[in-house]
Copies of this chain bind each other. A is one copy, B any other.
Amino acid sequence: MATPTFKKLMYRLGGAGLDVWRRRLGLGEEQTAIDLCHRLVGLRGEASAIVIADEIISRFNAMNDDQALQFFEQLVDHFQPDSESLKIAAEFYLAEPGPEAASALADAALAPRQSVFRLLSTSPAGVPALVKLRERLLAFLAKNPQLQPLDSDLMHLFLSWFNRGFLELRRIDWQTPAHILEKLIAYEAVHEIRGWDDLRRRLAEDRRCFAFFHPALQDEPLVFVQVALTQDTATVIGDIIDEAMSDELIPPKTAIFYSISNCQSGLRGVSFGNFLIKQVLLELKQEFPSIENSLTLSPVPNFRRWVQSVLADPDLIETYGLSENRVARLTALDQEIKNNNEAADLLEECRPALLRLCAAFLLFERRADLPKDAVARFHLSNGASLDQVNWAGDLSARRLKQSFGILVNYLYEADKLEQNHEQLVNDGEIAASSIVKKLANGKHTRRAA
């Protein structure tokens, strides 16, 4: 029996329920949200704690930015660890370091903010509200570094709460409840879903969609992945998004992961996509023993910006062996794309150079040893290998602006993931097909490679 939420119970118990309780608890306007937080921490009677938590959440949701910022600052200030105890614990540790002193110090350093958040989470609406709260907090963070401790506290809790072991994988299809499906439409980040008919196509017999859910976020997906089941590798997104596919049940040979979207920006930094892809690989293998290859069809979001930086830097132009004419054409193309102009011929002309540059970009350009491109970083860190660089994979305005329309296939081979991952992390070596390597190392590519 799934039991009704507290609030619904209250409602059903009649008008006497929530309102009476709120009145009895004296939750009047004269008390600020931060006052209520103090009260929450002091309380032990949980039924009323839930009512107060609900009240704090409603008030926070109604705050404008100034008010929210002030509330965040108050949280940081009012719920610090006790400075006296912390001082003693720190001194004691310095005097006699050791596991017990460290443990005591950790306890003393634990900010009561975490208790506030933990108590807020006991409301049925609590965890979703805290995820939204962090979303707002993140927006302030860059300009308000003094809020960093608050983010540490939330991350600390989120890492426990959104533990891999608590996530539930669910298949999403046309039998899925509508209120979940509408969230897919809202959250799809890679290839926009254009309404219910488009969605239905994406959930047809020859597709699979899986999402992670969390018990405290009920029917809110955390991350979802869309897969097309095909005979051959797809290199062009239109083949997947637009085409009607046969609904004959031919056992598929290839699984194409063509979209993976994080849904909760308040969970930034808590990573799920990695687990999701790997578990879905197992699920598909189980349902379709006929699948031989699993690969992605992915954007290269940081490529064009990098090309711009190359074009602006004579050294790099030399490194990549770009002729003057080539530089001129690429610069012209970049300008046309910026202006949303049709430039099919120019684009075609730049094809060899861009393909070569893209392969090189993905293989050689790094940020802290990992690939510079965010999507490459994700998949290659997962242990996938760079399999193919596809010209004209997606000619939408958005992809033209990201990567001149280039899409990439990353290959997931179950028995090489571990090794690929280790090689990248330990030796900085990226797993790639010989075709891509050859492409990247073509004449003039990078003299000093």
Interface residues of chain A, those whose CB is within 8 Å of chain B, are: 1-4, 6, 9, 11-13, 15, 24-25, 44-48, 76-77, 80-81, 83, 86-87, 90-91, 93-94, 97, 99-100, 102-103, 105-107, 109-111, 118, 121-124, 126-127, 145-146, 148-149, 152-153, 157, 159-161, 163-166, 168-171, 174-179, 181, 195-196, 200, 215-216, 219, 249, 251, 274-275, 278-279, 282-283, 285-286, 381-383, 415, 417-418, 421-422, 425
Contacts and interface: CB of A to CB of B under 8 A. Distances in A.
A275 to B, nearest CB: 6
A421 B164 CA distance: 38
28 contacts: A3-B283, A13-B285, A25-B418, A44-B381, A45-B417, A45-B418, A46-B274, A47-B278, A47-B418, A77-B99, A86-B97, A91-B94, A100-B149, A102-B111, A102-B149, A103-B111, A103-B148, A105-B105, A106-B111, A106-B152, A118-B163, A122-B164, A161-B163, A163-B216, A166-B166, A175-B219, A178-B196, A215-B215
B81 A87 contact: no
A24 B286 CA distance: 21
A159 B417 CA distance: 35
Given A105-B90, A170-B3, A381-B44, A165 B127 contact: yes
Contacts of A102: 80-81, 83, 86, 109, 111, 149
Given A45-B421, A161-B163, A176-B177, A169 B107 contact: no
A435 to B, nearest CB: 25
Contacts of A275: 46
Instruction: Pick the most buried of A25, A80, A107, A177: most chain B CB atoms within 10 A of its CB.
Output: A177
Copies of chain A in the complex: 4
A382 B4 CA distance: 22
A166 to B, nearest CB: 5
A53 to B, nearest CB: 9
A9 B281 CA distance: 11
B110 A106 contact: yes
Contacts of A2: 168, 170
A163 B380 CA distance: 36
Given A45-B383, A106-B152, A421-B44, A87 B97 contact: yes
A118 B418 contact: no
B11 A118 contact: no
Q: 5 smallest A-B Cβ distances: which pairs?
A: A103-B149, A160-B160, A106-B109, A90-B90, A122-B164
A322 to B, nearest CB: 36
Given A161-B161, A168-B215, 4 more contacts: A1-B170, A160-B160, A175-B178, A195-B196
A178 B227 CA distance: 20
Contacts of A249: 11
A15 to B, nearest CB: 8
Instruction: Pick the most buried of A103, A249, A283: most chain B CB atoms within 10 A of its CB.
Output: A103
